[in-house]
Amino acid sequence: MLRATAGRIDDALDALTDLPALWHSWPHRPAWNIEDELTARGFVFEEEEPLMTLRFPPAKNAQTDIGPAVAPAPARAAAVAGKKAPHPLESPLGPASIRLVDGEEALLAWEELWTGSASDPAVHAALAAAGLGTHRVAHHFVAEVDGSLVGCGAAVVARATVAVEHIVTAATHRRRGIGAQLTGAALAIGRDHGATTAILTASPDGAALYHRLGFVDREPVRRFVAPGR
């Protein structure tokens, strides 16, 4: 992740080289409202979503709005025979087990859930660099029901903040509480790494869920894609 004001956009482009990236513009913050500069360079508007935040309660094990109980998910078989199953994670009780992605093959499966298509080599390389190994900053996880992967998510921890990212539930398993389980797993990772605040941006389909979990709206963010992507 890079931060760049309007005068540093070209420097950020040079640093990213050809890596795929979403560019964020903040219309309510003059220093970070770079929409005019992006569109002048041929960037294409992708979407606008609200930024939401949630403050964790002071006590690590205090009751929160993410669910009536938080417990380790039970062990399940790997989604693909012969592949190592991701580690169990804490999440609100529900129909799925939530497991940490902890290897190349599991990350490839996560990417297919996230994008709905085969993994892109450039995207995979970027995700693996940040999300595998003992010093990862991005923690990817999946939801599994009866041996099948039905959802995914990620938690990116930066100092006292955890970003809840890429919460996706398969169409066949929506409205069963799995999205809340995935979000709860991200919050648990954040707490375990010392975060005191969670942030996310919400799609129209997800906003109601996050409001129920205690997130509050802050401001809109507008996303752009570099030309040719």
Mean pLDDT of 5-21: 77
Report all structural domains of the chain as residue ranges with CATH numbers, in order of start.
6-49 (no CATH), 51-218 (3.40.630.30)
Residue-level pLDDT at 120: 85
Alpha carbons 176 and 169: distance in angstroms, whole number: 10
Residue-level pLDDT at 15: 79
Residue-level pLDDT at 14: 80
Residue-level pLDDT at 85: 41
Structure confidence at residue 89 as a pLDDT band (50, 70, 90) = low
pLDDT tens for 170-184 read 999 999 999 999 999
Checking if the pLDDT of 125 tops 70, the result is yes
Checking if the pLDDT of 202 tops 70, the result is yes
Between 222 and 20, name the one with better pLDDT: 222
Alpha carbons 92 and 11: distance in angstroms, whole number: 42
CA distances from 157 to 1, 45, 48, 145, 161 (A): 12, 27, 23, 27, 6
Q: Residue 99: in which H helix or E strand, if any?
A: strand 97-100
pLDDT tens for 128-153 read 989 898 888 999 999 999 999 999 99
Residue-level pLDDT at 33: 93
Residue-level pLDDT at 229: 53
Checking if the pLDDT of 84 tops 90, the result is no
